[in-house]
């Protein structure tokens, strides 16, 4: 009985053990199934990653082409050399290998020896080795030293379009400009060098090596035209040479599509050697920096006012040299010799501040800001470049009348050049605001188009009628106003000058540094290009009409010819026999009223200077020939040389020749300094200022240009 009890207990224990073993085997079996079938792939990848060290090999970046398929940025294959330290040590020629490599590569032998014998599976020796040196190394057939082809970015045009293209780093990654904006498109898929080592992290002398080739990136086609870009950069180089500014830049856009045809800034850099330049050279200030635009902004104010009916072509204004806004005064740039009564057309031609301040105040805050926002100020244009600025606008809720008055003449608000030209392009394009565009196509490595970027209309800001009216007015600025130096013979050109004091960091305006600019369109009746030229802190002359307008003229003239835009010359207006001339009579010693009547009968315009009743001096002198509507200056009181007066009023030299300036300065007992040649377009001090006798008047002269075309109708 006792034995039976013991046997039962033993059997129970055996059963428990068996059951435990069975459960354990089932668990192990299930675990094996889980590991083999569920986690198998993941574990195989982990095992491979534990056995292999991967070295990334960058793909060849896609090409950047100009609008006509000319390469601006390409990738070239260069040899990069690496070492397998275990193989170098196994060869027992490590020192000899280091010595030979150091001699070819110009590296320190000791450092190189330490590098190629490191306790790791793979090390780079030298990347992007020039072809001739790479051949020398290959010919040596050094054990443990291998190479792989790596792409290196190359910019065949040097500094052309540098700030727009940007550059790529040694690892073929985009670092600036379009290279970084389109990095994912251009970079492709990287390849891999795989090197095997054991579980303890030690290299295997005869290790398996595997090379997975990279997949090249896609290419992009720009809206930029290389030829137009060359034209722009040529003119900027000339500005740098003649004016020595801190920087200068220009943008050319097709207003109908928003496509950028050229964009350049100076000083520039060579993206092939970008590391040799200060980082400030990389900066594209045309999209990243804000500035107070000055009078070029008046085109925006004029457009909004005419659209709302606040300003009409028939309106008249009076300029006493300033406009009073509450307790504040906004001066005209010619406050010493005010414009007086003038039409809207004359106010724009004269770039008269009181006219535009009055218009801005009539618009009111709500209307003014509606068009400010409508034209895109205060936000990014979303051009395909990194670092675009928003600009700085006066807070609408806090804006007062004095803010409206100053904003209307291009002060108080700060804008970027790309914002300003995009808004102007809308004015030229029947009021349609287009997004500025730099890329028009994406192509694969076989050259097939995979994406087309179409022009994008944002909104219509003003009507077609208003656009045409503004273009008509701006054409007269070039033909008869402050923008005469921008006139392009054979084409109808409209535009606006701008001269603005630079803002001092911390507040206030500089009295020694200015930004001169010119912004225009051609032809005004069928706009093909709009262009903005900005010159920052030039030396000497700083007026936009003198330093920026000539560059605009050359850029637009050569661009229109390159684009084969037909000239619009009207031959009958160019024929000399169609221009009627008048012989100026002698009116010296005659009564003022009689002299004026005699000259006006000959269809000449007359300016009278002085408070006398009889004519003492006339310019030009009797017998001179003038075209109809030519101007004659009559002086009724002149300081005699022997009277030794203490001061004299500065006359208006505008439009006069060297001989006329010389004669008038002699009569007034003034000295003068001539800059340039042709006729007078600017002077300092301004007309009307009272100065001591023998003071020096700086007179700026430019070649005379005459429009032969009628303005566009509304």
Q: What are the pLDDT digits (tens) for 636-661?
A: 765 544 444 466 667 777 777 776 77
Tokens read off for 473: 């007015």
Residues 245 and 149 in one domain: no
Band of pLDDT at residue 88, cut at 50, 70 and 90? confident
Q: Is 184 in the same domain as 314? A: no
Residues 191, 311: one domain? no
18-27, 130-139, 526-535, 576-585: least confidently modelled range:
576-585
Whether 626 has a pLDDT exceeding 90, the answer reads no
What domain range includes position 8? 2-38
Q: Give me the torsion for CA of 563, 569, 571, 573, rounded to 10°.
A: -170
pLDDT score recorded for residue 572:
42
Residue 662 covered by a domain: yes
Task: Give the HSE-up count for residue 487: Cα atoms under 13 Å, Cβ half-sphere.
Answer: 22
**CATH of residue 81:** 3.90.1310.10
Rounded distance, CA 339 to CA 344, Å? 12
Q: Which of 197, 209, 205, 207 is nearest to 49 (CA)?
A: 197
Q: What is the pLDDT of residue 194?
A: 67
β partners of residue 203:
197
Residue 571: is its pLDDT beyond 50?
no
Give Cβ neighbours of residue 534 (< 8 Å, ≥ 6 apart).
248, 249, 250, 286, 291, 417, 515, 516, 517, 548
Residue 634 has pLDDT above 70, yes or no: yes
Contacts of 191 (CB under 8 A, 6+ apart): 56, 57, 58, 59, 211, 212, 213, 214, 215
pLDDT of the residue at 616: 79
What pLDDT shows up at residue 526?
Answer: 94
Residue 696 domain flag: yes
Query: Are residues 230 and 214 both part of a single domain?
Result: no
Question: Which residue among 568, 594, 617 closes a domain?
Answer: 568
pLDDT, greater one: 266 or 21: 266
CA separation for the pair 705, 679 (Å, rounded): 10
Within its chain, how far is the Cα of 701 from the centroid?
29
Q: Are residues 384 and 502 in the same domain?
A: yes
Point out the residues that are catalytic. Answer: 295
Is residue 562 situated within a structural domain? yes
Predicted pLDDT of residue 625: 65
Last residue of some domain: 221, 237, 252?
A: 221
- Structure token digits, residue 282: 């990389």
547 and 561 belong to one structural domain:
yes
Confidence bin at 619 (pLDDT 50/70/90): low
Domain boundary residue among 502, 536, 568?
568
Query: Following DSSP, what letter does each residue of 549-572 receive, concatenated?
Result: HHHHHHHHHHHHHHTTPPP---HH
Query: What pLDDT does residue 492 have?
Result: 93
203, 311: one domain: no
| pLDDT recorded at residue 55 | 64
pLDDT of residue 170: 80
Residue range 480-535, pLDDT digits in tens: 888 888 999 889 999 999 988 888 777 778 878 999 999 999 999 999 999 999 99
CA 227 to chain centre: 17
pLDDT band at 700, cuts 50/70/90? confident
Confidence of residue 40 (pLDDT cuts 50, 70, 90): low
Residues 362, 401 within the same domain: yes
The 3-state DSSP class for residue 252 equals strand
> Is 686:468 a contact under the CB 8 Å cutoff?
no
pTM reported for the whole predicted model: 0.72
User: Residues 371, 385: one domain?
Assistant: yes
3-state secondary structure of 22: helix
DSSP string, 27-79: HHHHHHHIIIIISHHHHHHHHHHHHEEEEEEPPPPPPEE-TTS-EEEEEEEEE
Q: Which residues contact 92 (CB under 8 A, 6 or more apart)?
A: none
> Cα–Cα distance between 287 and 417 in angstroms, integer?
6
Q: Calculate what percentage of the chain has a pLDDT beyond 90.
A: 44
- Give the per-residue pLDDT at 569: 57
Count of domains for the chain: 4
Q: Compute CA 362 distance to the chain's CA centroid, rounded to the nearest angstrom.
A: 33
Do both 281 and 409 map to the same domain? yes
Closest CA to 489 of 267, 703, 296: 703
Segment 155-197, tens digit of pLDDT: 999 999 999 999 998 878 899 999 999 999 999 888 776 666 5
Same domain, 98 and 65: yes
Residue 372 forms part of a structural domain: yes
Q: Which residues pair with 415 in a beta bridge?
A: 291
**CATH code assigned at 380:** 3.40.710.10
Cα–Cα distances in angstroms (integers) from residue 587 to residues 18, 345, 618, 711, in the given order = 138, 32, 7, 35
Output the CA torsion 389→352→518→396 (10° steps).
Answer: 10
Residue 6 included in any domain: yes
Residue 708 lies in a domain: no
**Would 658 be classed as within a structural domain?**
yes
Residue 49 falls inside a structural domain: no
Q: How far apart are CA 254 and CA 232, in angstroms?
A: 15
Pick the more confident residue, 357 or 629: 357
The per-residue pLDDT of the chain, averaged, comes to: 84
Residues 8 and 83 grouped into a single domain = no
């Amino acid at each position: 009985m006792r034995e039976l009890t013991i046997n039962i207990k033993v059997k129970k224990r055996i059963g428990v053990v068996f059951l435990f073993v069975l459960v354990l085997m089932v668990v192990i079996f299930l675990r094996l199934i889980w590991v083999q079938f569920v986690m198998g792939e993941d574990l195989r990848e982990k095992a491979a990653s534990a056995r292999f060290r991967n070295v990334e090999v960058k793909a060849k970046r896609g090409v950047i082409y100009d609008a006509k398929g000319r390469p601006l940025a390409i990738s070239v294959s260069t040899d990069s050399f690496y070492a397998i330290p275990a193989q170098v040590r196994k060869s027992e020629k490590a020192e000899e290998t280091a010595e030979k490599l150091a001699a070819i590569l110009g590296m320190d032998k000791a450092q190189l020896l330490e590098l190629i014998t490191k306790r790791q599976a793979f090390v780079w020796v030298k990347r992007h080795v020039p072809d001739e040196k790479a051949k020398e190394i290959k010919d040596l057939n050094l054990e443990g030293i291998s190479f792989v082809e790596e792409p290196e970015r190359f910019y065949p045009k040097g500094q052309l379009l540098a700030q727009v293209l940007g550059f790529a780093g040694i690892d073929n990654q985009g670092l600036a400009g379009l290279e970084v904006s389109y990095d994912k498109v251009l970079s492709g898929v990287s390849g891999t060098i795989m090197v095997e080592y054991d579980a303890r992290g030690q290299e295997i002398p005869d290790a398996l090596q595997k090379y997975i080739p990279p997949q090249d990136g896609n290419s992009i086609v720009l809206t930029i035209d290389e030829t137009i870009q060359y034209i722009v950069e040529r003119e900027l180089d000339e500005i740098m040479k003649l004016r020595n500014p801190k920087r200068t830049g220009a943008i050319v856009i097709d207003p109908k599509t928003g496509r950028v045809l050229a964009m350049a800034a100076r000083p520039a850099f060579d993206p092939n050697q970008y590391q040799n330049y200060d980082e400030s050279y990389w900066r594209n200030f045309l999209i990243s920096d804000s500035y107070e635009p000055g009078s070029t902004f008046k085109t925006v104010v004029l457009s909004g006012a005419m659209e709302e009916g606040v300003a009409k072509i028939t309106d008249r204004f009076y300029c006493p040299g300033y406009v009073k806004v509450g307790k504040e005064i906004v001066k005209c740039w010619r406050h010493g010799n005010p414009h007086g009564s003038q039409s809207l057309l004359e106010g724009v031609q004269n770039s008269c501040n009181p006219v535009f301040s009055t218009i801005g105040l009539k618009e009111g805050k709500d209307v003014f800001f509606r068009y400010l926002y409508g034209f895109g100020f205060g936000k990014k244009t979303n051009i395909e470049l990194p670092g675009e600025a928003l600009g700085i606008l006066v807070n609408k809720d806090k804006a007062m009348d004095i803010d409206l008055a100053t904003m209307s003449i291009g002060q108080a608000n700060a804008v970027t050049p790309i914002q300003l030209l995009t808004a102007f392009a809308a004015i030229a394009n029947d009021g349609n605001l287009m997004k500025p565009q730099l890329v028009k196509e994406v192509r694969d490595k076989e050259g097939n188009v995979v994406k087309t970027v179409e022009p994008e209309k944002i909104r219509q800001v003003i009507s077609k009628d208003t656009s045409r009216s503004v273009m008509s007015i701006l054409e007269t600025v070039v033909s008869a106003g402050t923008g005469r130096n921008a006139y392009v013979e054979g084409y109808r050109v409209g535009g606006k000058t701008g001269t603005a004091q630079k803002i001092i960091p911390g507040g206030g305006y500089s009295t020694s540094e200015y930004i001169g600019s010119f912004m225009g369109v051609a032809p005004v009746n069928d706009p093909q290009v709009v262009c903005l030229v900005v010159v920052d802190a030039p030396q000497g002359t700083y007026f936009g009409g003198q330093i920026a307008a000539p560059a605009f003229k050359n850029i637009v003239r050569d661009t229109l010819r390159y684009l084969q835009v037909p000239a619009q010359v009207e031959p009958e207006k160019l024929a000399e026999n169609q221009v009627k001339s008048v012989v100026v009579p002698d009116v010296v010693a005659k009564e003022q009223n009689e002299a004026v009547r005699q000259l006006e009968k000959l269809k000449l315009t007359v300016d009278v200077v002085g408070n006398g009743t009889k004519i003492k001096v006339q310019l030009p002198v009797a017998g001179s020939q003038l075209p109809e509507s030519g101007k004659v200056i009559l002086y009724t009181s002149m300081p005699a040389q022997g009277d030794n007066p203490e001061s004299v009023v500065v006359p208006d030299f505008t439009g006069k020749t060297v001989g006329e300036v010389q004669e008038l300065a002699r009569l007034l007992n003034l000295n003068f300094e001539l800059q340039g040649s042709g006729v007078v377009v600017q002077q300092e001090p301004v007309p009307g200022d009272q100065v001591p006798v023998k003071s020096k008047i700086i007179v700026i002269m430019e070649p005379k240009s005459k429009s032969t075309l009628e303005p566009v109708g509304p």
